[in-house]
Each structure stands twice: as C-alpha cells, then as structure tokens.
Amino acid sequence: MGWPYHFFFGAPAPPDFFFFPFTQRFAAPVPPATVGQSHPDAVLQTRPNIYIPPDIPSLIPILISIRLTMSQPELLESVDITSLNALAAGANKKNPRVVAAGLGGKLMGTKSIVDVTAEQMAKDSETFYEKDERERQKYRKQMHISEKPWTLSNWHQHINWLNSVLVVFVPAIGFYHAFTTAPQMKTVALAVFLYVLCGVSITAGYHRCFAHKAYDAHWSVRAFFAFFGAGAVQGSVKWWAHSHRIHHRYTDTNRDPYDAREGFWYSHMGWMLTKANPKNRARADISDLTSDPIVVFQHRHYLAVMVLSSVVLPCVVAGLGWGDWKGGFIYGGILRFFCIQQATFCVNSLAHWIGTQPFDDRRTPRDHVLTAFVTFGEGYHNFHHEFPSDYRNALKWYQYDPTKVCIWILSKFGLAWNLKTFSQNAIEQGLYQQQQKKLNRMKEKLNWGTSVQELPVWDRSYFNEIAKKEGLIIIAGIVHNVKNFIKEHPGGAALVNASLGKDATKAFNGAVYQHSNAAHNLLATMRVAVIKDSAVESNTFDLQEEMMAKKAI
C-alpha cells in the first residue's frame, strides 16, 4: 500500500466533490463486496467515475470549460514583490522628508534607520538563512560596530548615548535627588495624574491611534496625545510608530527592532541603549503619519516639546501652585517619565516573555494580566499581534484594558470614530485552532491503540486455535488480547473468562454492561488482529450508541 492509498482513506472527500475525473487515479483497488449492504464501503464501490452533484447544475458549464482549458493552461500574472515591498515601505509616495530640527535630529539619528531602498526591501522575500548569508558576505571585510565584540577600547562606540542619557542617566540623577528631597503630597498627586495622562497618551495615542490606525481621532485629541506622549520621553510619534510598525511586520526576525529572541534584557532596554546593526534595517509605510501636520510638527520640534511637556510643565505647575519647584521637577518630571518608560518597555519584554498564547504560539507575544496592569491594558499581546488594528486589546469583561474604555468614551463624545474591530468569527477561529493544536500535541503523547490498517488479518479457525490459550476476545471484528487485563476487569474476572475465544461485541456494548468511554479507550490499546469475514467497527463508541438506541426501541 503506497501513499495514495492512505491518502485516500485517511481523508475521504465528501461524495459531492467527486466530479473531478482524476479522483480515480487516487482510489485504491476497492475490494470485492463481501459484506452486507449496510457496510459503508458499499457507497465507495458503487460510486460512479464522474459524479455530477445534482444540487450544483451551474457547475456543468465550468466542467466543460475545464475540459477546454486543460490543454492550454493560462497562467495568471503574479504580483511583483519588489514593487509591493516598495509600497509597504511607503516608497511610492513622495514623502516630505521630516527631519527633527537642529540638535535633536542629529542626536536622535533617525536618518540611518529609514535609509533603505525598495530594492533592498524586496530581497526580504528570500529566506532568512539566505539573507543572513548574503549579509555575512557583505560584512565580511568591514564589520559594523554592533558586530564587533565589546572591548575596553570600543565600548563607547557601542552605546547610543542620547538614549542612554534620557533613559538611564537622567533618571539616575533624579533618583539621587529623590533620596535627598521629600515630596509634598500634592506633588505626588500631580505626578500620578501626569503618569496616567502620559501613559494613556502612549497606549491610546502613540500605539493604537498613530501606529495601528485602530481608530480616527479629532485633531484636538491627537494634539493632546502628541503633547503628553512626548512627556513620556519615548521619542516622537513618527519615530515611535514607525519602529512599532516595523516590529509588527517583522516580529521575531532580525529586522524586528526589539527582537524578543535576543532575550528579555535586549527587548526591554538593550535595543535602544546600543547601536543597531544597519543590515537589519527595515521600513514601513508611514505616509499617513507624515501627512498629519500634528505629527510633523511634533517631530520637527520634538526636543522642545519633550522638555516642555515632561519636565517644565510639572515643575512650573508644582512651583507656581504650591512652591515645590524641585519636587515637581524630580517627582512630577523625571521619576514619572522613568516609570512610564519602564512600563512601556515591559510591553516589548514582559509581554513577549510571560503569559499564555491563546491565539498563536508560533511567535513570542503572550497574554498576561500582570503586563496588562503595568501597561494600561496592553498586556494581551498575543491577541494584539494577531489582530493588530483592533482598538481593543482585551475582549473579556474581566480583563483589564482601561485604554479600550478611554477610546470607547472618546467615541461616545464624538472625538473618536471609525473604531476598528475584527470579526468575532475570526477571533474564535484563532482560539479554536490554537486549542486544537494543543490538543493534538497531547494526543500524540498517548497510546490510542494500533490503527486497524496496521493489524494483521486472521482466519477464524486460527483464532479459535489459540484464543483460549492467549486470552483473546473478539469485539467488533477485532481481536483483543485481554490476558493481562482479566484480573483488573472491574466487573470481575468471571465475565471476561466466560467470553474468551468468543465474539463479545454485544456483551461489551450494552447487553451485559454499557461500558464507559474509558473502557472503549482501554480496549483499543489491546488490539491484536482483525478477523476475516466480519464487519470491522473500530469505532466502538458509535457502535455502542447504535446498539443502545436499538435496545431502547
């Protein structure tokens, strides 16, 4: 028996499909009819070569067209990957080149990230092994700093100094002063208030509105997000959304700016404290962002907006309000933005590290309530990567997603509209497939008994010869070896002994005792052979139901 045989029987197609003439090529040699009419194989044997389903008469002209076009197949034009990649990278449009003004732009070095041509992008269609090989060839002679090992002489070249200053050194100074300055309660309240404003600006604004276009917002809301988002000191909208789009497009690959495969620390902060390898650069279409005047303005004057929003604002409010200039600067400014930074980094690290994967476990994103608590509801990351442009991150009522609620409230006030959701059908499909996958994995670990095809076929006389010696029993046309089980039979050994060497199908399936599902499973593991000239019913579950139904009548 070759593969077509198993192929055919392993996966029988519904009968109404058999209008394709070539099916016969795959059909195994059908055995002559030896069993009764009720046997399901009867259907197989009487099936015509070409079966035209009566319920789809409209297919007939198509059938004819199959015949006509068989000889002259006409291939369809395939899309050009290069041009499509150019599209995806936004190279088709004339983007105004938005560069941060003055010192800020130079320090941020955004230019090097987006500096890549469409042709280079198109080469992505090769596998990563091929691509890695090509890159290796390219950098064989001259190594980028990120590929060189860290030594005492070059360590300062590895570090991205601007980010280090903003993310590590400034907070460190803040912490130092925090030990010497006691805050006023009002200042702490202000810090918490600003924390919430900036946090929501990052999640609802930077992330779901700008990066994913999950909804459209009024210009005032976008301006609010742009201002307070800058206060979180995580870069401009343009830069943030761009790298986030790249992250979604290239999750868990070398091109992923915060590649979770590199480890927790790298995806948390390491990626921004060190210089990125230019061979891993990628690009996404951000033409919608560069055409938004608010985003453009924020990017142009990012450094000024950032300083104003993150430090000056709390400092001035606390100073003018209750004279706590220094407390406002340290607690309302530095320590607050440090907390938001760490919370946001947790999405890149924690959400790819702990939790469950209810939708897809082929990539690293995970769902965890802890991450959700830290990040205003961005913790349901497996869902988010599967359905990125859904304005929700959590679906169930008990899952914590305040950002979703904020957006929903905005929409009720008419400040947000066009809230995007994926269909419930698609979401449940994802859930189903992942659960099925897990279940299949569990199934493979267990012994379900030899499949009927692999069993030898025995004559009845041969069976009679050895049955009593070997402790054999026939149930549903299959010989089972119950020798080692006799002692353990819950109904007593006598019953099993009495049916040794006999057909106990009826007794097993309800005449004596209606066995539980567990018993059916156990029985399957004891299969030895198939008996010739009898109806084989390997699915004893259905058989039992049939028999019990008959009995009930």
Partner 1 sequence: MSQATSRGVKIQKRKTQILPGDSRTARKALQKRKQDFLRRINYFSLLTAVLLPLCAIAYLIKEGLSVLPENPRTRWLGVIYYCITMLAFTAGYHKYYAHSTFRIRSSLLHVFFVVFGASIGLGPVRVWAAMHRAHHQYTDDVDRDPYSIKRGFLWAHWGWLLKRPKSTTFYKEFIEQEFPIVSGDNELSSKLTTGSAVITESDLRIGNALETYEIKVSDSKDRQRQTLEWMAWQESWNFILFILTSLLIPTLVAIWYCGDTWVNGLIYSGILRMFVSQQLIFFTESICHAKWLQVTIPSQPFNDKNLLVDCLNPIVALLTFGQALQNYHHEFPHDYRVSSLTWAFDPTKWFIWSLSCVGLVDELCKTPKDLVMQLRIQQKQQVLNHMRSQLNWGTPLSKLPMITAKEFNRLCQSAAGQDRIYIVIQNVIHDITPFMDQHPGGLALLQASHGKDATKAFYGGVYGHLTAAVNLLATMRIGVLDTGDDEGVWRRVAREEGDVDARDERQGGQHRSAEAA
Token match 């000889």: residue? 71
| Of 251, 247, 333, nearest in space to 283 by CA | 247
Q: Which is nearer to partner 1, 117 or 516 (CB)?
A: 516
Cβ of residue 10: shortest distance to partner 1, in angstroms? 5
Q: Which is nearer to partner 1, 99 or 536 (CB)?
A: 536
Q: Which is nearer to partner 1, 39 or 301 (CB)?
A: 39
Conformational region of residue 102, where left means phi above 0, alpha means psi within -120 to 50, and beta covers everything else = left
What 3-state DSSP class applies to 529? strand
| Of 337, 310, 328, 307, nearest in space to 181 by CA | 328
Structure tokens at 90: 């936004």
Cβ of residue 216: shortest distance to partner 1, in angstroms? 11
Q: Which is nearer to partner 1, 79 or 152 (CB)?
A: 79
Query: What DSSP assignment string belongs to 228-292?
Result: HHHTT-S--HHHHHHHHHHHHHTTTSTT-TT-GGG-HHIIIIIHHHBPPPGGG------HHHHT-
Cβ of residue 88: shortest distance to partner 1, in angstroms? 5
Q: Which is nearer to partner 1, 137 or 447 (CB)?
A: 447
Residue 423 CA to residue 390 CA, distance in Å, equals: 10
CA angle 329/335/341 to nearest 5° reads 130
Cβ of residue 402: shortest distance to partner 1, in angstroms? 23
Q: Residue 21 corresponds to which amino acid?
A: P
Q: Which is nearer to partner 1, 156 or 443 (CB)?
A: 443
Q: Which is nearer to partner 1, 181 or 481 (CB)?
A: 481
| Of 348, 314, 349, 303, nearest in space to 197 by CA | 314
Residue 158 CA to residue 135 CA, distance in Å, equals: 20
Residue 8 CA to residue 6 CA, distance in Å, equals: 5
Q: Residue 276 corresponds to which amino acid?
A: A
Cβ of residue 375: shortest distance to partner 1, in angstroms? 21
